[in-house]
Chains A and B, each alone.
Chain A
Amino acid sequence: MIAFWDLVHALLAIGLLGAVTHQGLSVWRKPAPARAFIDRFRAVNGGGYANAVCVLYVLTFALGSFIYPQFVLDVKGSLIDYGMRKTIFLFQLKEHVAVTGLCLLPVYWHFWRTVPLTEDVGVRKYLTTLLMVATWWNLVVGHVLNNVKGLV
């Protein structure tokens, strides 16, 4: 059953990754006709993604928290036995990065949805980029750790 929830967690994370990457790249785009693929990818209305990013982040975080105890018992225990301290460090960092994103979520939503889009442009850009980087980091680290047995 834990494999099922792990898969759902991964699928939600991929949905989040798509939404936050669209938005994250859109805040760095200068207004110009979108011709190349990357320009078309980021030529989106960033504000329209804020609610989806918040909902997907909370769901992904909640499911990650639900499966985390099983990870501590099954995977972290094995990593400790094998002396893979740096790998454990990566995962420990993942949990703090996830909390950083969760902590900034209300203020991220606030700057997208209640502050006029012409104000605090730099803050909005920073928070969105940070959430994008945090999501990428956590997805990559989570994926590597999920497969660490096959990688070593």
Chain B
Amino acid sequence: MLNSTFSPRVFSLVFAVVYTLDITFNWPMFRYYPFLGKFSWGDLALDPTVPGPLGPSMQWFGWMGWAFVAALVTAAIIPKKIGNRIPGVVFYIVPIIIMAGAYIREKEFILPVGG
């Protein structure tokens, strides 16, 4: 059933676009606080009711969360026949757009401090 309707081309393309938007604009679906061992829909640092040190916040799972949901829903809605019309060469640019987003997100670690 899933194999007859699910479009892998749509899934990969939508996942790449949404993940790139997520990392570029920092839109995690949720955050994970490894020090607390806790998931949160929002940023706990902005919540005055949460006591004590929070430790680092991980957005990576949340970025993938939006990308996964958007890709799964779109790939299930768009018929496979239409999805298969996406030319294969489109996937040549997928790594480039994700890496462009990754550079924007992570450039603070390679640019001079204060630069």
Contact = CB atoms under 8 A, between A and B. Distances in A.
Given A104-B91, A111-B88, A73 B55 contact: yes
A72 B56 contact: yes
B55 A104 contact: no
Contact of B34 (A72, A100, A130): A72
B61 interface: yes
Interface residues of A, number: 32
Interface in A110-152: 110-111, 120, 122-123, 126-127, 130
B94 A104 contact: yes
Contacts of B55: 73
Given A99-B64, A123-B89, A123-B91, A92 B56 contact: no
A126 B61 CA distance: 27
Interface of B: 8-9, 11-13, 15-16, 19, 23, 32, 34-35, 55-56, 58, 60-61, 63-64, 67, 71, 88-89, 91-92, 94-95, 98-99, 101-102, 105-106, 109-110
11 contacts: A69-B58, A72-B34, A73-B55, A92-B102, A96-B105, A100-B94, A103-B19, A103-B71, A104-B12, A120-B88, A122-B89
